[in-house]
Amino acid sequence: MKKPFVSLEQIQEIKKTYPTPFYIYDEKGIRENARAVNRAFSWNKGFREYFAVKATPTPGILQILKEEGCGADCSSYTELQIAEAVGVTGHQIMFSSNVTPAEDFALAAKLGAIINFDDITHIPFFEKIAPIPETVCCRYNPGGVFQVSNEIMDNPGDAKYGMTKEQMKEAFRMLKEKGAKHFGIHSFLASSTSSNVYYPMLSKILFELAVELKNELDIHIAFINLSGGVGIPYHPDEEGCDIMAIGEGVRKVYEEVLVPAGMDDVAIFTEMGRYMLAPYGALVAEAIHEKHIYKEYIGLDACAANLMRPAMYGAYHHITVLGKEDAPCDHKYDVTGGLCENNDKFAIDRMLPKIDMGDLIYIHDTGAHGHSMGYNYNGKLRSAELLLCENGDVKLLRRAETPADYFATFDFTGLFQK
């Protein structure tokens, strides 16, 4: 059973100031999880978690993670601006992007971010914008199929990201000739994995590549970035990853491959978004309509514009009817929003307690890739983001959008502004 980190009484009080729908994040949970990640990799003196800003690009959240020693993994101009706004600059930023506009590279260079080149052609493109930094990184794509035991995790050969091994060698040669002195390797081979062996298996691939590149090119490999891919248990009956076991698995491979090669100074980086934030955020909405036709429907004041994942690819998010946690789940519902799209459903044929109008619905595990994927179809407005502070106070991180926000970019003077 998944348990909300707020009670019905707390939400009822919050709702007096901030109408539903809204996102709420758990500061205590975020901090404790960040500390656990740092403990899991504390054996590596250079370790840093670069939080994937795209997962939750909210300055108040980045500020918390910065205080816990995390950097920022940025992939766009605005994400770089958010990082700078909370005081994350220099090598605290890993800039990992693809099909990168010149202005994005320019800002990343200005901030002193570590540039992670996605393609070998990006090197001469970047050089027209800024000098090649002394510390650089390149993204590796080994191709083929990546699998754990007999389970296929993902298909890197079909992914648009990264370089082949030969391109990595040529890229590092080019960068060395242009003045680079310290090199990093980055790779992302699978998304939302539930296995404790994903990072260790990826580590072995990258560590062996690092030894080969060091010996063949006579370069200093300063860090290896395992990127993201560590998932969470969205279903209540799923087992979650054990971050301590993951960290220990990477340590064993480090000592097996890198230490004998004289590379015990290599720092380990990660770029987790989902694992860092998803369980510590929830979308809270109110049941405002019910419909009885061929199926039983419950309509919320939130919709796919607030949380896209279920509509986009059928993602499961657990639902709690606040105040009815102990009631029997003996009613089958489709839980929907009000978009003019039939896929605007948070749940299909979900067994839940009887839902009455006015009930408050808590949608779990939306702290990452939730609000950040919101959009304005049908003129829907994005909701507020709140923080449940460690002391029990509630802080506004982002106000809800208004019609004036929606109309602000129109060049049409006839629209009212309210």
pLDDT tens per residue across span 358-397: 999 999 999 999 999 999 999 999 999 999 999 999 999 9
Largest CA distance in the chain: 71
The verdict on domain 8-22+279-407 having CATH code 3.20.190.10 is no
| 359, 43 Cβ separation under 8 angstroms | no
Q: So what's the pLDDT on residue 160?
A: 83
Q: Calculate the alpha carbon distances from 256 to 11, 200, 251 in Å.
A: 51, 11, 9
- Give the dihedral of Cα atoms 243, 246, 248, 251; nearest 10 deg: -130
Query: How large is the average pLDDT for residues 168-192?
Result: 95
Q: So what's the pLDDT on residue 159?
A: 72
pLDDT-based confidence at 399, cuts 50/70/90?
Answer: very high
Number of neighbouring beta carbons within 10 Å of residue 165: 14
Tell whether the model's pLDDT for residue 100 goes beyond 70.
yes
Tell whether the model's pLDDT for residue 148 goes beyond 70.
no
Question: What does the DSSP assignment read for 275-318?
Answer: HHHGGGEEEEEEEEEEEESSSEEEEES--TTT--HHHHH-----
Structure token digits, residue 76: 């766009």
Q: Is 340 a catalytic residue?
A: yes
pLDDT digits (tens, 9 = 90+) for 282-331: 999 999 999 999 999 999 999 999 999 999 999 999 999 999 999 999 99
Instruction: Tell me the pTM.
Output: 0.94
Where exactly are the structural domains of the chain? 8-22+279-407, 41-272
Distance CA 242, CA 214 (A): 32
Q: So what's the pLDDT on residue 1?
A: 82
pLDDT-based confidence at 191, cuts 50/70/90?
Answer: confident
Handedness of CA 285, 287, 291, 297 (dihedral sign): positive
pLDDT-based confidence at 157, cuts 50/70/90?
Answer: low
| 214, 177 Cβ separation under 8 angstroms | no
**CB-based burial of residue 239 (10 Å sphere; 0-12 exposed, 13-18 middle, 19+ buried)?**
exposed
Tell whether the model's pLDDT for residue 82 goes beyond 90.
yes
Tell whether the model's pLDDT for residue 48 goes beyond 60.
yes
Query: How large is the average pLDDT for residues 185-202?
Result: 91
Q: So what's the pLDDT on residue 150?
A: 42
Tell whether the model's pLDDT for residue 234 goes beyond 50.
yes
Segment holding 63, helix H or strand E? helix 59-67
- Pairwise pLDDT comparison (373 vs 414), residue with the higher score: 373
Query: How large is the average pLDDT for residues 345-365?
Result: 98
Q: So what's the pLDDT on residue 149?
A: 46
Query: What is the total residue count of the chain?
Result: 418
Tell whether the model's pLDDT for residue 200 goes beyond 50.
yes
| 346, 355 Cβ separation under 8 angstroms | no
Distance CA 373, CA 380 (A): 13
Query: How large is the average pLDDT for residues 86-91?
Result: 97
* Residues 6 or more apart whose Cβ sits within 8 Å of residue 82: 53, 57, 59, 62, 72, 74
Q: Which CATH class is domain 41-272?
A: alpha beta
What is the DSSP code (8-state) at residue 193?
Answer: B
Catalytic residue among 138, 303, 329, 340: 340
Q: So what's the pLDDT on residue 152?
A: 41
